[in-house]
Amino acid sequence: MQERVRKDTAKRKTGTKVIEGVVVGRDKTVIPPEEVYKLANIGCKDTEIADWFQIDGNTLRYNFSVELTKGRLALNQSLRRAQLQVALNGNPTMLIFLGKVLLGQREDSIDIEENKILPWVQDRVERENNEDQQDA
């Protein structure tokens, strides 16, 4: 059986590239810390980043914990910034969501201070219970 070779791979040019970075693992793989940061910043998981560089996940976490943490923190900040911008532009759903998350606002019908059902809700619940008992 004849092996197929793609036309574009047959004409592929090769060269040498010098990479500066941290030497890790038994294979002495060189990994640029800024690349790890960029991948973490777009939300890649540790296993995805490790697979990209062809190293073990534990090796990645041991050598690049700072870059992984900073990249993910930068991602969280940019997402929060985007959510706030959407909310401030008048999106009511985002305003409600951020009010609950950032400000601790709630829709509960329970008085948090006394941990009791609010009076108008209590009256409705009692009426519904009375109606249920009368129907039975």
Judge whether residue 5 has pLDDT over 60: no
pTM, to two decimals: 0.64
Q: 82-125, pLDDT tens digit by residue?
A: 999 999 999 999 988 988 888 888 876 555 666 666 566 666 66
For residue 62, what pLDDT band results from cuts at 50, 70 and 90? very high
Q: Any long-range contacts for 62-70 (C-beta under 8 Å, 24+ apart)?
A: 63/22, 63/24, 63/31, 64/22, 64/31, 64/33, 64/36, 67/33, 67/34, 67/36, 67/37, 67/40, 68/36, 68/37, 68/40, 69/40, 70/37, 70/40
Please state the rounded mean pLDDT for residues 41-61: 96
Domain boundaries, the chain: 18-105, 108-136
